[in-house]
């Protein structure tokens, strides 16, 4: 973890097992959810959040 990346992980959880937050220089926040689904299939979901005015 540093000023621009934070990672939270729990391998005993079903989904997500890892959540990563990326703070970009332009104020955008990217979130990546990663885990195993149905016991073997890797699943990845990403979100991009941008501040509205």
pLDDT tens digit string along 1-53?
A: 678 999 999 999 888 999 999 999 888 999 999 999 877 889 999 999 998 87
CA separation for the pair 48, 18 (Å, rounded): 17
Q: Can the peptide bond before residue 16 be classed as cis, meaning omega within 30 degrees of 0?
A: yes
Q: For residues 50, 23, 33 and 14, what is the CA-based torsion angle, rounded to 10 degrees? A: -120
Q: pTM of the prediction?
A: 0.83
Res 21: pLDDT: 98
Boundaries of domain holding 16: 5-49
Res 43: pLDDT: 93
Res 26: pLDDT: 86
Domain count across the chain: 1
Locus of tokens 């959810």: 33
Helix (H, G, I), strand (E, B) or coil at 45: strand
């Amino acid at each position: 973890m540093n000023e621009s990346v934070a990672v939270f992980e729990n391998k005993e959880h079903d989904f997500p097992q890892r959540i990563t937050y990326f703070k970009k220089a332009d104020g955008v926040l990217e979130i990546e959810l990663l885990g195993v689904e149905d016991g073997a299939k890797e699943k990845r979901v990403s979100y991009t959040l941008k501040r509205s005015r």
